[in-house]
Amino acid sequence: MSLLDLFFPRKCPYCLKLIERGRLECDKCRSEFPKEPYIRTIPSGNECVSAFMYDSKIRDALARYKFRGKREFYKSFGAVLANAVAESEIIADMVTSVPLSKKRLHMRGYNQSELIARELAKILELDYAETLIKCRDNLEQHTLNHEIRAENIIGVYKPIDKINLQGKRVLLIDDIVTTGYTLSECCRILSENNDVDITCATVATAF
């Protein structure tokens, strides 16, 4: 065992079993991955591809990644989602992600969706670009009931100045899709004044 492994042991994101450096997850968890991606339609009418159902094991793994500082887990999530996108035969010119507000980015230290999106883009050999800004904080969607979530997300995002998506096929990445309102609002903003084809992809889907 190297000193790096001794002081910073690598763990499987899904079960926390120790794994060798260079591995992304343990063999047992990998053998349990879904054989096919999940494809849903979100309220905006856009297609959303997901690698996992949002069950207890995936929920815990994403919570560790998102809220408990396990930043390194993005590599497994990005690789699994890249495989789901490839299996779905999605054609894209570029990859982007759902942004965080400056306040939440400062508190967390990283945008969990951006890290996954950049890893996916690298694997699929696609360009990554930031296209949206979260211009104000809102209540976190997972704390709200279904009826309030649609209203909570309105006016939260705006496009980055001078971004040109005309004629582009864009793959929009987030970590989880529940109601789909966040992704739908991002699709709406990106589609304003642009003839753009947007497909969404998330690590997990709750519906």
Digit-by-digit pLDDT tens for the chain (207 residues) are 454 455 568 999 999 999 998 899 999 999 999 999 999 999 999 999 999 999 999 999 999 999 999 999 999 999 999 999 999 999 999 999 999 999 989 999 999 999 999 999 999 999 999 999 998 776 565 555 666 777 778 889 999 988 889 999 999 999 999 999 999 999 999 999 889 999 999 999 998
Q: Which residues contact 79 (CB under 8 A, 6 or more apart)?
A: 24, 119, 120, 123
| Full DSSP string of 36-90 | S-EEEE-TTS-EEEEEEE--HHHHHHHHHHHHS--GGGHHHHHHHHHHHHHHTT-
Please give the CATH architecture assigned to the domain spanning 35-205: 3-Layer(aba) Sandwich (3.40)
Where along the chain do the CATH 3.40.50 domains lie? 35-205
pTM score of the predicted model: 0.91
